[in-house]
């Protein structure tokens, strides 16, 4: 169900990403999705990461280190 919702929201996600030069952390995307649906954030992040990595070819996930913590950043490929 979550994956279908992500597909349906892709155009809104592109607009959301565009507000920040096409870059958002996976955590920010989870918060954004959680504002529309009540989703467990840990499950959300894992599913979104795996879905984007495997299916959404115009997105790229980069690993970013901030404050000693590993974060994943989602970027629209140009």
| pLDDT tens-digit series, residues 4-52 | 666 666 667 777 777 767 677 777 777 777 777 666 655 666 676 677 6
CATH number at residue 56: 1.10.10
**Hey, which bits of the chain come out as E strands?**
23-25, 59-66, 69-76
**Rg of the Cα trace of the chain?**
12
Q: Which domain holds residue 50?
A: 2-76
**More confidently predicted of 73 and 68:** 68
Please report the pLDDT score of residue 13 as a whole number: 72
Predicted model pTM: 0.49
Please report the pLDDT score of residue 44 as a whole number: 65
Number of structural domains found in the chain: 1
Q: What single DSSP character describes residue 78?
A: -
Please report the pLDDT score of residue 60 as a whole number: 67
């Amino acid at each position: 169900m979550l994956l279908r919702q992500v597909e349906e929201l892709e155009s809104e996600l592109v607009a959301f990403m565009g507000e920040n030069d096409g870059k958002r952390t996976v955590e920010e995307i989870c918060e954004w999705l959680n504002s529309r649906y009540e989703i467990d954030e840990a499950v959300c992040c894992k599913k979104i990461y795996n879905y984007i990595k495997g299916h959404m070819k115009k997105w790229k996930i980069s690993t970013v280190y901030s404050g000693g913590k590993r974060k994943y950043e989602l970027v629209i490929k140009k």
